[in-house]
Amino acid sequence: MVVQRTLSIIKPDATRRDLTGQINQRFEDAGLRIIAQKRIRLSREQAEAFYDVHKTRPFFNDLCTFMISGPIVVQVLEGENAVTENRDIMGATDPQDAREGTIRRDFAESIEANSVHGSDSEKTAELEVAFFFSKIELLQ
Ligand code: CMP
């Protein structure tokens, strides 16, 4: 078992419905600690930069438009195997494929408005955490 950090985003569909507390309760119940957190509104440039890896995908523009449509909560989760643990708790990208009891199965509105984002690997987590948080904002 290895203690990891991963980036979590609560997306505009979830902040609009005031689901932040319910979603974060699931992370904490599963042993993931929120060690940094802020509520922000992305510019289009910031959303495009964050999702740069998807820039050639057909859903890229719609995804960026959705991600700037309201506030998001960006946060860092820490715990044993936090990267895969977070993804297990979130469920599959498409809520129709997500396991019962996962965040996306219970809360997501669609494959795009799927309530949460989580880093997909340790390397991505490092980059995504650094995208939103400076060293001084992170517990050492
Ligand atoms: P996320 O984990 O934030 O990573 C990329 C996002 O693109 C994904 O969640 C979805 O919100 C969004 N998306 C929209 N359409 C698709 C699609 N067809 N396949 C994958 N992701 C999609």
For the packed helices 122-132 and 82-90, what is the interaxial angle rounded to 10 degrees? 80
| Ligand 1 closest atom vs CA 120 | 2
pLDDT band of 5, cuts 50, 70, 90: very high
pLDDT at 1: 78
pLDDT higher than threshold 90 for residue 88 = yes
Q: Is 124 buried (19+), middle (13-18) or exposed (0-12) by CB count in 10 A?
A: middle
pLDDT (tens digit, 9 = 90+) per residue, 10-57? 999 999 999 999 999 999 999 999 999 999 999 999 999 999 999 999
Residue 59 Cβ inside 6 Å of ligand 1? The answer reads: yes
| Ligand 1 closest atom vs CA 51 | 5
pLDDT at 140: 83
Q: What is the Å distance from ligand 1's center to 140 Cα?
A: 32
Q: Are 76 and 8 in contact (CB under 8 A)?
A: yes
Q: Are 36 and 135 in contact (CB under 8 A)?
A: no
pLDDT (tens digit, 9 = 90+) per residue, 39-48? 999 999 999 9
